């Protein structure tokens, strides 16, 4: 539409978490999808209010865990049956019960590492710059203010009408965010 | 709807369920009495298994309740009253121990003094494993459990009419001591009642293995009860997906705990490979019983573990109730695996009593549970964690318990 390419989105500022959640609900109902909410502390309902879908993180952790499990077992199997086959107490070379503790630890290690690294990657972190920083008052997002930003990427985004829509949600202030 | 009404007023159909369950349970017990005359040892063996399952649910609830007194948290507030009702079944369970006390000469080979006279190991153990001391210990266990149950429930009832936080503090203090007492008594009780079925064998992890199993049985029953309560007023708008999610996560933790204990026991005995220790596994793993062991690995660990990893599985009442029901059956199979091979060392033997007794004892247990549930409010409105856990949900449902304050 008539959107200038230099606009990242429109940012509305709220004074309390309840207004933010209700604004996010209304924006989602109005059909907006590409938006993000910012708050100084986690708000449980907010996640659903902005229509956040399930993340792919559980799948990444599962795959990491399986890799750790198979890798940990394979390492021990290779070491004790192929590379250094030593008969201990007459037990078979592939004494799998003895491998279980290490296999378990490797599963947890790789699953935990993939959870942390996967979370950072999916969030696009580390991110030293973000367009919302262009709004000076946004610094309050880490103190006592709550923000909802509808991004220009949204197919329904139109600078004028989106601004007018956000004004109806009783914000303290609505600002256009330069990209 | 006022939440301080007793469950009897809030859910009137409870009385009917109680009557039907008690009649069904009594009928089942009368039918199985035929088994007592035809094959008394088989009857006692199946009875011990059924008894340990339902005693496990009772004591597991007692322990979970004490853990919740100490830890707090939203997960426990909605199940506090079912937990309390389950612990108040304990006096009935105490009576139901009598068949085991009378039948101990058929259950435990160390009661046979001729056998002990020819067995050096059993002679040394005779100081602990003898009939009078066995009965005295059982009396101590039941005394400890009944005392804890009595005071925790009495104070919880007073708390319903009196918002004074001193009751919560008292319950907390007793729970701290009580958990210690529970840990010690259940360890010795499991040595006495289950491990001594094979008097030569010993495993130091056995007590915690039984403890973990009791917590799991209790959670499974509590989840089934909670799903049932969530489908009718007044709790239909108060119990939300998050409650099932928390309890599902706890159940997952207990599944992993059980697997960890069971495998640790196996790994240590397998590594040591000592004749006195491996006998227990030999007549389980080198006979038809092996199939039961594999069933346990699959249905007491692998399948519920994978199912409970899923978030949707835990949050949907429809699915979590199936997982919980399955786990309760797996608990019975686990007790079967611990008890039955001692009486049938050559191969798997399932009697009709192995099905009828757990089911009828379960019906009696549930009947008594509902009877106890009916007498009190369905939620502990003066619990210090009540507002934190349920305040927002109740406000949304517009059912703030105004009359309570």
Local mean pLDDT, 10-residue blocks, chain B (405 residues): 73 90 95 91 95 97 94 84 94 96 93 90 91 96 96 89 84 94 96 94 93 96 93 82 91 95 94 89 91 95 92 90 96 95 90 94 96 87 75 58 40
Q: B299: distance to nearest CA of chain A, Å? A: 19
* Residue B154, number of CB atoms within 10 A of its CB: 13
Separation of alpha carbons B375 and B366, rounded Å: 15
Q: A97: distance to nearest CA of chain B, Å? A: 6
Separation of alpha carbons A28 and A35, rounded Å: 9
- Chain B residues touching A21 at Cβ < 8 A: none
- Chain A residues touching B273 at Cβ < 8 A: 89
pLDDT mean over A125-137 = 83
- Burial of B290 (C-beta count, 10 Å sphere; 0-12/13-18/19+): middle
Select the residue from A104, A105, A111 to test the B interface by mutation, using most B Cβ atoms within 10 A. A104
Could you tell me how many CB contacts below 8 A there are between chain A and chain B?
Answer: 14
- Chain B residues touching A89 at Cβ < 8 A: 273
Interface check A97 vs B, CB under 8 A = yes
Separation of alpha carbons B197 and B200, rounded Å: 9
Which residue shows structure tokens 């708008």? B237
pLDDT for residue B2: 60
Q: B70: distance to nearest CA of chain A, Å? A: 25
Separation of alpha carbons B91 and B149, rounded Å: 9
Interface check A101 vs B, CB under 8 A = yes
pLDDT for residue B403: 38
- A30, A162 Cβ separation under 8 angstroms: no
Separation of alpha carbons A80 and A105, rounded Å: 18
Select the residue from A61, A62, A69, A100 to test the B interface by mutation, using most B Cβ atoms within 10 A. A100
- Chain B residues touching A58 at Cβ < 8 A: 311
pLDDT mean over A57-73 = 94
Separation of alpha carbons A125 and A118, rounded Å: 10
pLDDT for residue B368: 95
- Chain B residues touching A54 at Cβ < 8 A: 311
Q: How many CA atoms lie within 13 A of B394 on its CB side?
A: 18
Which residue of A58, A62, A97 is in closest CB contact with B267?
A: A97
3-state secondary structure of A147: strand
- B194, B200 Cβ separation under 8 angstroms: no
Q: Which chain B residue is nearest to residue A55, measuring alpha carbons?
A: B311
- Chain B residues touching A62 at Cβ < 8 A: 309
Which residue of A54, A58, A98 is in closest CB contact with B271?
A: A98
B363-366: long-range contacts at Cβ-Cβ below 8 A with a sequence spacing of 24 or more?
Answer: B363/B21, B363/B22, B363/B24, B363/B25, B363/B28, B364/B21, B364/B22, B364/B25, B364/B26, B364/B29, B364/B92, B365/B25, B365/B54, B365/B57, B365/B58, B365/B89, B365/B92, B365/B93, B366/B21, B366/B25
Residue B327 to residues B33, B349, B402: CA-CA distances in angstroms? 28, 22, 39
Judged by CB atoms closer than 8 Å, whether chains meet at B267 and A101 is answered as yes
Structure tokens at A122: 């999916």
Structure tokens at B220: 């499974």
Separation of alpha carbons A85 and A70, rounded Å: 20
- Burial of B95 (C-beta count, 10 Å sphere; 0-12/13-18/19+): exposed
Contacts of A150 (CB under 8 A, 6+ apart): A9, A10, A27, A32, A34, A35, A157, A162, A166
Select the residue from B243, B270, B307 to test the A interface by mutation, using most A Cβ atoms within 10 A. B270
Judged by CB atoms closer than 8 Å, whether chains meet at A97 and B309 is answered as no
pLDDT for residue B396: 61
Which residue of A58, A89, A97 is in closest CB contact with B266?
A: A97
Cα B151-B51-B104 angle, rounded to 5 deg: 105
Which residue of A54, A62, A100 is in closest CB contact with B267?
A: A100
What pTM value is reported for the model? Answer: 0.85
Judged by CB atoms closer than 8 Å, whether chains meet at A97 and B311 is answered as no
Separation of alpha carbons B60 and B214, rounded Å: 5
Cα A129-A132-A138 angle, rounded to 5 deg: 115
pLDDT mean over A105-123 = 94
- A50, A28 Cβ separation under 8 angstroms: yes
Interface check A59 vs B, CB under 8 A = no
- Chain A residues touching B311 at Cβ < 8 A: 54, 58
3-state secondary structure of A8: strand
Q: B35: distance to nearest CA of chain A, Å? A: 41
Q: A99: distance to nearest CA of chain B, Å? A: 10
Structure tokens at B115: 């056998």
pLDDT for residue B399: 45
| Preceding peptide of B306 cis, ω within 30° | no
Interface check A100 vs B, CB under 8 A = yes
Separation of alpha carbons B251 and B239, rounded Å: 18
**Helical (H) or strand (E) element with B293:** helix B289-296
Judged by CB atoms closer than 8 Å, whether chains meet at A98 and B267 is answered as yes
- In B, what residues contact A, Cβ < 8 A? 263, 266-267, 270-271, 273, 309, 311
Interface check A108 vs B, CB under 8 A = no
Interface check A62 vs B, CB under 8 A = yes
Separation of alpha carbons B243 and B2, rounded Å: 21
Interface check A155 vs B, CB under 8 A = no
Select the residue from A25, A54, A69, A97 to test the B interface by mutation, using most B Cβ atoms within 10 A. A97
B270 phi and psi angles, rounded to 5 deg: -65, -40
Interface check A98 vs B, CB under 8 A = yes
Q: What share of chain A is helix, strand, coil (3-state, %, to 5)?
A: 50, 15, 35
Residue B118 to residues A58, B101, B115, B315: CA-CA distances in angstroms? 60, 25, 6, 58
Which residue shows structure tokens 């494993």? B129
Structure tokens at B368: 């008594």
Separation of alpha carbons A12 and B47, rounded Å: 68
Judged by CB atoms closer than 8 Å, whether chains meet at B270 and A89 is answered as no
- Chain A residues touching B266 at Cβ < 8 A: 97
Separation of alpha carbons B179 and A42, rounded Å: 34
What end-to-end distance do the CA atoms of chain B give, in Å?
15
pLDDT for residue B343: 92
The separation between CA B156 and the C-alpha centre of its own chain, rounded to angstroms, equals 21
- B324, B224 Cβ separation under 8 angstroms: yes
Separation of alpha carbons B243 and B343, rounded Å: 42
Separation of alpha carbons B247 and B239, rounded Å: 12
- Chain A residues touching B267 at Cβ < 8 A: 97-98, 100-101
Which residue shows structure tokens 């902005």? A50
């Amino acid at each position: 539409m008539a959107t200038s390419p230099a606009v990242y989105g429109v940012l509305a500022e709220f004074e309390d978490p309840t207004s933010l959640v209700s604004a996010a609900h209304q924006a989602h109902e109005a059909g907006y999808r590409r938006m993000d909410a910012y708050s100084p502390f986690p708000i449980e309902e907010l996640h659903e209010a902005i229509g956040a879908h399930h993340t792919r993180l559980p799948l990444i952790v599962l795959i990491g865990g399986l890799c750790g499990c198979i890798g940990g077992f394979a390492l021990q199997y290779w070491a004790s049956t192929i590379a250094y086959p030593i008969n201990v107490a007459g037990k078979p070379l592939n004494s799998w019960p003895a491998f279980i503790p290490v296999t378990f630890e490797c599963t947890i290690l790789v699953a935990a590492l993939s959870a942390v690294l996967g979370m950072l990657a999916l969030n696009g972190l580390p991110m030293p710059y973000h367009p919302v920083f262009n709004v000076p008052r946004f610094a309050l997002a880490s103190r006592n203010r709550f923000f909802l930003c509808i991004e220009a990427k949204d197919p329904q985004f139109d600078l004028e009408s989106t601004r007018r829509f956000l004004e109806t949600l009783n914000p303290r202030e609505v600002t256009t965010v330069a990209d | 709807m006022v939440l301080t009404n007793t469950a009897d007023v809030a859910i009137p159909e409870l009385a009917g369920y109680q009557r039907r369950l008690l009649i069904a349970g009594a009928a089942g017990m009368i039918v199985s009495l035929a088994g007592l005359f035809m094959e008394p040892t088989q009857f006692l063996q199946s009875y011990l298994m059924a008894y340990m399952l339902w005693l496990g649910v009772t004591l597991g609830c007692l322990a979970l309740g004490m853990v919740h007194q100490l830890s707090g948290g939203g997960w426990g507030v909605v199940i506090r009253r079912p937990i309390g009702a389950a612990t108040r079944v304990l006096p009935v369970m105490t009576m139901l121990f009598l068949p085991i006390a009378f039948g101990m000469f058929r259950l435990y080979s160390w009661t046979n003094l001729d056998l002990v006279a020819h067995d050096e190991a059993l002679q040394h153990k005779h100081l602990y494993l003898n009939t009078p001391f066995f009965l005295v210990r059982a009396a101590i266990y039941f005394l400890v459990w009944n005392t804890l149950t009595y005071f925790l429930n009495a104070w919880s009832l007073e708390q319903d009419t009196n918002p004074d936080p001193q009751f919560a503090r008292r319950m907390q203090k007793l729970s701290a001591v009580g958990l210690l007492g529970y840990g010690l008594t259940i360890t010795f009780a499991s040595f006495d009642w289950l491990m001594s079925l094979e008097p030569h064998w010993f495993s130091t992890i056995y007590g915690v293995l039984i403890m973990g199993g009791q917590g799991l049985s209790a959670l499974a029953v509590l989840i089934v009860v909670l799903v049932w309560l969530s489908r009718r007023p007044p709790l239909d708008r108060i119990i939300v997906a998050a409650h099932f999610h928390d309890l599902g996560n706890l159940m997952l933790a207990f599944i992993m705990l059980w697997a960890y204990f069971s495998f640790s026991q196996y790994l240590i005995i397998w590594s040591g490979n000592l004749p006195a220790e491996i006998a227990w596994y030999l007549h389980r793993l080198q006979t038809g019983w092996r199939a039961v062991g594999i069933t346990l690995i699959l249905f007491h660990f692998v399948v519920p573990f994978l199912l409970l990893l899923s978030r949707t599985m835990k949050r949907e009442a429809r699915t979590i109730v199936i997982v919980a029901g399955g786990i309760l059956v797996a608990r019975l199979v686990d007790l079967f695996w611990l008890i039955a091979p001692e009486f049938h060392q050559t191969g798997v033997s399932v009697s009709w009593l192995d099905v009828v007794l757990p089911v009828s004892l379960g019906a009696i247990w549930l009947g008594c549970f509902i009877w106890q549930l009916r007498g009190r409010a369905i939620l502990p409105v003066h619990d210090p964690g009540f507002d934190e856990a349920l305040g927002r949900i109740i406000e949304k449902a517009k059912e703030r318990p105004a009359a309570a304050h």
